[in-house]
Chain A
Amino acid sequence: MQVTIPGDVKELVAKRGLKESDIVDVVNTAEKEKKYLKKGNDALAKKRIGDIMVYVMCDLSGKGTAVVKTAYSHKMNLGKVVNLMSESEWKTADGKPVSDGHIEVEYMTVRRNAPALVVPETGDAFLEEYLAVKTIAAAEGLFEKKRA
């Protein structure tokens, strides 16, 4: 898989402290293991790298090419499925349904719930970008300061 990272996305991921090599790794690993989500031409992949979970969203409309649209990360560990809600617009790489729902997240020994995209068949979960960079990032900050 040829991974292309446009200039504006390079700037964004640099601001978010992510390495381009890690982004390529996330995409290639997901492609190899066929473990990613799809919505139209978009694909969402994730991989734990060190202490953070790195996500990459790509446009797969070009054959054999993944054009990175965004990448983001969070520090929380993803845990068990809490509940499944309605079916989302996403599918697994092999076309199975993906639900909106909640999973347990763990950070600094605290376990709480967070909304996520959940694969009902496997319990695998993905956090969407807005949650990771806003809601969860803010929650991580509060946990680190031990305040609410």
Chain B
Amino acid sequence: MNNHYILSIVVRGKGISMGYEEMFPPIDKKWHSNANKRFASSFVDKQHDRIDVDSIILSNACVVCGYTIRDFYTKPDLGIACVAWASEMYDLLPVTHWFFSLPWINELGSTMQYKETLPPISTGPVISEPEEVDTKINVPDKETIKNGWSTKQFMTAYDYVAKNLPETLVPISYGFDLVGAAADLVGVENFIMWTFTEPEAAHKLVRKYVDTSILGAEVMADKFGSAMLTVGSVLANNDIFDDNAVEEYSVKSMYYYVSNCFKRGAGPQVFYHLCGNHQTDYTRFKENLLWSPFTVMHIGYSGRNAFPAAVLKETFQDKATVMVSVDTKLLIDPDPSKVYNNSRDQLLAGRDAKKGCILGTCCECPMYTIPGQMRALVKAARDFGTYGTW
């Protein structure tokens, strides 16, 4: 029985967080140096190697390293170590990340539970009546956020990286899905109903969630000196809301979030993640978001298809680096040519975006992403995204 296996048993069986760094060989510095220059390409106008690939790898990193989806979320330090290892293995980004979709709701009263195949979710709504937004949902103070459950998860991950993988450290704070997470506090169906019947309460609930998330970013920035912001519009998409509602609830909240995070020292990097169907509402984001010198715009879908790279480029290339997408379901389809061809088409349409282009997936790559399909994604970036070849 080798040491790796013994340590794996300890980690899996007892949930003991120790010595993950001993399980992974040291980072390949030659690879990392090249990947670092490549990653910077999009932002500093110094083209290097090829267009980068960000498959938004999360729990799949644990799966390909022999652990479970649950391990990724219950052990953020193990999770982020696996992200680093998988990123080198697949030649993805030189920076690490770890997150889940519902940060900060625990600090607003939700009870979180771990699942075998899901990120942590709440056990259920904490309020049901509009007046309870005032009486039961209270934005915590900064100290409470600092010592709270969500911060502990993020700090576990980023402290590990700072200590063991410092060259991959980009501290990130997540507002993530500002509307969706707020909706979770009352139940998604109720929230959607409130947007019609109780818009004042719905707006107030979202604002309280956003204010809480801003404190989270401030705590991260206090510790690390800066903090990239990842903020999205996931529940607020065209399958659920019309364009006006997306703008009112989501776009304005994203602007408020980023603006106030900047005031508290977070940024300058911003990753806008529009998951779900943004067939027509995407136009509302263009003139109403905050654009920093380091901003990436990512849109998942238009209807049921990957959002067209040509439209993404045309609309946002004057504002930000664009991240074009390949449909995530192709990554679990046992036909790598589908990933390759979809990647090629999106790259050909988006690779010459004025402020740079990244090849991504429409959303997090599936937990059981097929390694061969990940290879097809990266191969397409090499074949159709190498600078100097077009």
Task: Determine chain B's interface SS by DSSP, over half rule.
Answer: loop
Binds B, one of A10-18, A54-62, A63-71, A102-110: A102-110
Interface residues of chain A: helix, strand, loop or mixed (majority): mixed
Contact of A147 among B40, B259, B292, B355 (CB under 8 A): B40
Q: How large is the interface on B (under 10, 10 to 19, 20 to 34, 35 or more residues)?
A: 20 to 34
Tell me the B263-307 residues at the A interface (CB within 8 Å).
263, 265, 267-269, 287-288, 290-295
Are B40's CB and A146's CB within 8 A? yes
Is B67 interfacial (CB 8 A cutoff)?
no
Task: Given A113-B291, A139-B294, A147-B40, decide whether A82 and B319 contact each other with a Cβ distance below 8 A.
Answer: yes
Size of A's binding interface in residues, CB under 8 A: 27
Report the minimum CB–CB distance from B46 to chain A (whole Å).
Answer: 6
Show 10 A/B contacts (Cβ-Cβ < 8 Å), sorted by A.
Answer: A82-B318, A110-B44, A112-B293, A113-B320, A115-B291, A134-B265, A134-B267, A138-B268, A148-B42, A148-B269
B138 close to chain A: CB less than 8 A: no
**Chain A contacts for B268, CB-based, 8 A:** 135-136, 138-139, 142
B228 and chain A: residue at smallest CB distance: A148
Contact in complex: A148, B288 (CB < 8 Å)? no
In the assembled complex, how far is the CB of residue B49 from the closest CB belonging to chain A, in whole angstroms?
A: 14
**For A110, what are the chain B residues with a Cβ–Cβ distance below 8 Å?**
43-45, 293
Write the residues of chain A forming the contact surface with B, with a CB cutoff of 8 angstroms.
Answer: 76, 82-83, 85, 102, 105, 107-115, 130-131, 134-136, 138-139, 142-143, 146-148
Bound: A61/B197 CA distance, A:
48
Contact residues in B for A108 (Cβ distance below 8 Å): 44
Q: What 9 pairs across the A-B complex have the smallest Cβ distances?
A: A112-B293, A113-B291, A139-B268, A148-B43, A139-B293, A135-B268, A130-B263, A135-B267, A147-B40
A residues less than 8 Å from B37 (CB atoms):
146
A142: chain B residues at CB < 8 Å are: 43-44, 268, 294
Which residue of A has the minimal Cβ distance to B262?
A: A135
Contact B294 A131 (CB under 8 A): no
Q: Which residues of A contact B292 (CB under 8 A)?
A: 112-115, 135, 139
A115:B259 contact, CB within 8 angstroms: yes
How many contacting A-B pairs (Cβ < 8 A)? 81
Asked whether A143 lies within 8 Å of B320 as measured between CB atoms, the reply is: no
Minimum C-beta distance from B379 to chain A (A)? 24
Contact A85 B288 (CB under 8 A): yes
Which B residues, 343 to 361, have Cβ-Cβ distances below 8 Å to chain A? 355
Closest to A110 in B: B45
By beta carbon, the residue of chain B nearest A84 is: B287
User: Measured between alpha carbons, how far is A136 from B226 in the docked complex, in Å?
Assistant: 11
Q: Which residue of A lies closest to B260 (CB)?
A: A130
Residue from B44, B290, B291 within 8 A of A146 (CB atoms): B44
Provide the residues of chain B in CB contact with A136, threshold 8 Å: 268, 293
Interface residues of B in 43-78 (CB under 8 A from A): 43-46
In the assembled complex, which residues on chain A have CB atoms less than 8 Å from the CB atom of B290? Answer: 115
